[in-house]
Amino acid sequence: MKLDALHRLSLRRTLLATLLPGMLLVAAAEIWLTWRTAADAANAAYDRSLLGAIKSIDANISTDSGGLAVELPYRLLEFFELTANGQVYYRVATEDGLVEIGSADLPAPQRALISAQPQFSDAVYFGVPVRVGSYARVLGRPIGGAAAGQRVVIQVAEDLGSREAFTRRLIVQAVQRDGALIAFAAALLAGAVGWALRPLAGLRDEVSQRAPEDLSPVATTRVPADVRPLVDAINHHIARNRDLTEAQRRFVDDASHQLRTPLTTLATQVGFALREPDPQRMHDALLAIKAQLDETVRQTNQMLTLARADTAALSREPVDVVALAEAVTRACWPAARGRDIDLGFEPGEPALTLSVHAALLQEALSNLIHNAIRYTPGGSKVTVRVGRAAGQAVIEVLDNGPGLAAEALQRAGERFFRGAGVALPGSGLGLAIARSIARRHGGELQVVNGAEGTGLVATLELPLAP
């Protein structure tokens, strides 16, 4: 839920809210590492000073007198105290403790000493934290009757005040430096985020300032690559709305154009029938009105079918087009018998399943068959074939009628186009409906004359995969 709330913020706030805490976390880790590095550097520097004092004392140890003698370098110890800015303690003793010079109660080394290898450790001496350097070496001449290999232990200790102050100064300087860098980085980040989001602000302004009727694509020349898929999807949606709007406008224009003449004719026929005193001639006028009404209803239904073919949601489902074509052909048999047409069905495949909108495909095939029955002379043959060719499903409607002239073939499928010399009434929408449905399915409608120029072949070509 918290992440969802974060996603509802603006992109600028989301980026800053996620990047700034991460930057602060990195800065905190860097400060901790700086503290550790400063502490290690201070210890290394001060431990070298301790080792220098130890070496200076060691250089002044003598056993020539038969005992352990140390000539302390007081000037060096004074200088070391000034450098350490505190108390300095020392201890020189044999490893067995028989001879001991200096602060006898200095804390012993935490681990066993290895000859000629210094050891440094933190300890508490009279309640004060100190740093103790310890060093052991083998005496050249044993003292007090000891066996060969007797070792002398040298320890020098200083309080930690000076090195802790030095460490604090390093840490304060690091924090100040990191704070300035964080402030600069945060300002740079905010500026970079704002600059990177400027194209989105421009995109917002471009879309918000558009006129309501402006359905042109959104320009993508200055759109970031990450936002390009979103803009492409918006443009695709705009294109679909533009097509829908154009289809609606075309339907209104077509309806107003195609229905104006039938309605005017109907009004004239009704006026004639009202003025006609002869009952027989009035009856003939009413029959003409009915025929005109039937044709107007058929034309209106075809225009509605075409509008639905252009704009209806294409919900696909697996359909056996062989079975569908056979069912449509059977449904058209009564109309074919009424015009003495031999309507047959020839399946080239036992079954052929496609992902299609069944009702629209049925409408397209019905229009092709009815066109063939309507415009083919009586006694002719119409055949429906289903098969596959060149990776496509093919549904053909063939007739042995007169066919179409070459110029008419080029315009076959245009809205409201009818070939020359056609005496039967019609709207010229049958082929247009079939072509629109085929294209909605990613296919095409092909209309050609039959073999040797006899008859007409209307072919629905549909892809085998959606």
Is-contact 189 128, C-beta < 8 A?
A: no
307 and 324, same domain (yes or no): no
What tens digit of pLDDT does each residue of 284-301 get? 778 877 877 776 776 666
Name the nearest CA neighbour of 63 among 132, 126, 145, 135.
Answer: 145
299 and 350, same domain (yes or no): no
294 and 219, same domain (yes or no): yes
pLDDT band at 385 (very low <50, low <70, confident <90, very high): very high
Give 20-26's long-range contacts (Cβ < 8 A, gap of 24+). 20/186, 20/189, 23/182, 23/185, 23/186, 23/189, 24/182
Mean pLDDT of 126-152: 85
Does the structure show a pLDDT above 70 at 132?
yes
Does the structure show a pLDDT above 70 at 256?
no
Q: Which of 254, 287, 311 is the last residue of a domain?
A: 311
pLDDT band at 1 (very low <50, low <70, confident <90, very high): very low
151 and 121, same domain (yes or no): yes
Q: CA neighbours within 13 Å on the CB side: how many for 57?
A: 27
How many percent of the chain have pLDDT more than 70? 80
449 and 402, same domain (yes or no): yes
- pTM greater than 0.85 (yes/no): no
Distance CA 76, CA 58 (A): 13
207 domain-assigned: no
370 domain-assigned: yes
pLDDT at position 421: 46
458 and 336, same domain (yes or no): yes
Domain count, the chain: 3
276 and 345, same domain (yes or no): no
Is-contact 94 154, C-beta < 8 A?
A: no
Q: Which of 311, 334, 355 is the last residue of a domain?
A: 311
CATH assignment of the domain containing 433: 3.30.565.10
Element (H, E) at 123: strand 119-125
Distance CA 386, CA 321 (A): 8
Q: What count of other Cβ atoms lies within 10 Å of the Cβ of residue 443?
A: 23
299 and 327, same domain (yes or no): no
| Pairwise pLDDT comparison (276 vs 413), residue with the higher score | 276
Distance CA 464, CA 450 (A): 25
Across-strand partners of 130?
123, 159
pLDDT band at 134 (very low <50, low <70, confident <90, very high): very high
Distance CA 271, CA 263 (A): 12
Domain range for residue 106?
A: 38-167
284 and 387, same domain (yes or no): no
Which segment of 44-48, 99-103, 252-256 scores lowest on mean pLDDT?
252-256
304 and 327, same domain (yes or no): no
Q: Give Cα 419 distance to the centre of its chain.
A: 52
Name the nearest CA neighbour of 367 among 402, 413, 403, 405.
Answer: 413
Mean pLDDT of 302-312: 63
Residues near 2 by beta carbon (within 8 Å), at least 6 away in sequence: none
**Cβ-based burial of 387 (10 A; exposed 0-12, middle 13-18, buried ≥19):** middle
Mean pLDDT of 254-274: 70
189 domain-assigned: no
Q: Which of 279, 311, 343 is the last residue of a domain?
A: 311
255 and 290, same domain (yes or no): yes
pLDDT at position 414: 65
